Amino acid sequence: MAKLPQAPLVEVIFEMRWDANTLIDLQKYQIVVGALSTALGDRYEMPQAILPVGAIPPQALLDKVVYRAKQKSNKNMLYQIGPGVVSVNYTGNQYDWNIYMPEVLAFIKQFIETYKFNPEKQITIQLRYMDFFPKDASDDTMDFIKRYFNLNVGAAYIEHPQALGINCEEKKDCGLFRFALNSGKKDAKIDGFVLESSIQNTLNADAFSLVQASAFKEVLNNSHVFLSSFFKNITKGALYESFKIEKGTKDEQ
């Protein structure tokens, strides 16, 4: 997405998931954690466990993020890993696609070389954006949705809901598109709406090899272009224009 001074972005996530339910896979990810730490030690901090690894059976960790490592030069950039899942995340609104995308490509290249998948192994990839839009308590929920998100939601039997949720899933040329707009809170105290949008694709592991790297890059970039367009369309008007106003840096993590 374009870099906006007051972007509502909370986090951008590139995620890979695969079937890792064998004992070999459950043990393999721990070896990969150490190998990645060594290979990326000049750029990332030591991975830190975010779950009590020793107290949880390995099978219970499947598909869950277990370790996290932050980039040394920018603590908002990090990678996460667990059995069957790995991701590259950026938290905060000062994200720049032209910086984030090369980081994703470099990390995934190292991860694929380290993990050594069977070339035919199917891997699900997803690019996901999470945004938060504060809402004043005095704002009518239905009117807020219509005014700011270009969505006309209404029914005679619904008048003034305190909370509202909208979910959509649709197959697009660039992949499976999903978005969810739900009432929520930021930092457990600021009321508003959380927008989560994503594009998902499934590729064979050999699509990430050096030979096929350009194909993966194209899928990733196409996902970004679509989600950027979606964000501009759903916030088109006064809401989008408000993100262009300079008010100082928000990203202070």
Task: Specify the range with the lowest mean pLDDT, choosing from 158-167, 197-206, 225-234.
Answer: 158-167
* Tokens matching residue 82: 């667990």
Strand ranges inside 71-150, DSSP E? 77-82, 85-91, 122-134
Tell me the C-alpha to C-alpha distance, in Å, between residue 23 and each of 16, 123, 136, 178.
20, 19, 50, 32
- Whether pLDDT at 250 is above 70: no
Domain ranges of the chain: 9-242
What pLDDT, on a 0 to 100 scale, did the predictor assign at position 105?
94
**CA distance to 77, 157, 219, per residue, from 192 (Å):** 25, 23, 32
* pLDDT surpassing 60 at residue 253: no
Q: The pTM is what?
A: 0.91
pLDDT at position 234: 96
Residue 135 has pLDDT above 60, yes or no: yes
Across 8-22, 107-121, 150-164, least confident range: 150-164
Our measurement of the distance from residue 186's CA atom to the centroid of its chain's CA atoms, rounded to an integer in Å, reads: 17
Query: Pick the residue with more confidence: 213 or 204?
Result: 204
Model pLDDT, residue 186 = 86
Tokens of 52: 């009590």
Report the pLDDT value the prediction gives residue 252, as an integer from 0 to 100: 41
Beta strand 85-91 with 175-186: parallel, antiparallel or unpaired? unpaired
pLDDT of res. 210: 64
